[in-house]
Amino acid sequence: MEKRILGNNGLEVSALGLGCMGLSFGYGKPTEKKEAIALIREAFEKGITFFDTAECYGPFTNEEIVGEALEPFRREAVIATKFGFQDGDSTKGLDSSPARIKAVVEASLKRLKTDCIDLLYQHRVDPNVPIEEVAGTVKELIQAGKVKHFGLSEAGVETIRRAHKVQPVAALQSEYSLFYREPENEIIPTLEELGIGFVPFSPLGKGFLTGAINEETKFEASDFRNIVPRFSEENRKANQTLVDLVKSIAVEKIATPSQIALAWLLAQKPWIVPIPGTTKLYRLEENIGGVEIYLSKEELDNIDSALKNIEIIGARYPQQLQDRVGR
């Protein structure tokens, strides 16, 4: 698979990563451990070298699965994980105190069965801890050989700039897709200026861009999408116009909607690395196929023109989660 570079310090990863969260957190019933490990190993065999996890996914179980799955080829894989929540629990408050960051790293190293974390993100910006202090703590961990690269997740432009002055930021992880294009306004220009890579999560719009979801779809009780305004029945119905557009392009390109959505992201910048997640092998294979889809400048311009006539209805987060974004 094509490789891409995140940041100015040479973090090389596959053009497509694997978001591992959904294997054990956020999207209904967790995948059985043996199946989850098999899926991660199959992703590696098919060329994916970039794997994303976090202490709060589970909590903790996701890191354990990723660690066990990648142990046989650890040196060839790039593992990203995250700190930032009290007790590693995303339902609790934020905690990016230096002591907490160091404790998380020690625990994550054990769960991931490794001696160094390739990319360590602050999961959400903690308003109670200056970002300079956070970046300085990660810098110490890099100097100690426990972390290789520093990342931020869902951070705003001011925070990114301030952090980058203390410790170069290799990547920002935030939501970006045909379903959510807000980063184009300020975030992407800032990342380009500073030489920071971009790792879009939910590149398939939390599954919406696959075309497999409509207003009649019922999610499991524990599925995160049940509380997302954009996924109300009414809003799913209103937003089908976007899915119809993606489906029409897919027919022309002899591809699937998911592949078009990923190809579009990959075409935006050479330092963008989407991390779609899945629990299904056939979806994994389908997503990898998106790397091979080429969209010409004319095709991209046509897509942009069509998108200007489509209004996306509904917020991407309920308010209590939106309050943690873009600080």
Q: CA-to-CA distance for 21 and 63, rounded, in angstroms?
A: 9
**Bridge partners, 169 (sequence order):** 150
List the alpha helices (DSSP H) in 129-256: 131-143, 157-166, 187-194, 233-238, 240-253
Query: How many C-beta atoms surround the C-beta of residue 216 within 10 A?
Result: 8
The β-bridge relationship of strands 3-6 and 11-14 is antiparallel
Positions annotated as catalytic residues are 57
Q: CA-to-CA distance for 148 and 80, rounded, in angstroms?
A: 10
CA distances from 137 to 3, 163, 168, 169, 274 (A): 29, 11, 13, 13, 27
Cα Rg of the chain (Å, integer): 19
| 268 SS3 class | helix
CA distances from 233 to 62, 242, 249 (A): 30, 15, 25
CB 23 within 8 A of CB 39: yes
Of 1, 38, 14, 4, the closest CA to residue 278 belongs to 38
Side-chain half-sphere CA neighbours of 47 within 13 A: 14
Cis before 59? omega within 30: yes
| 136 SS3 class | helix
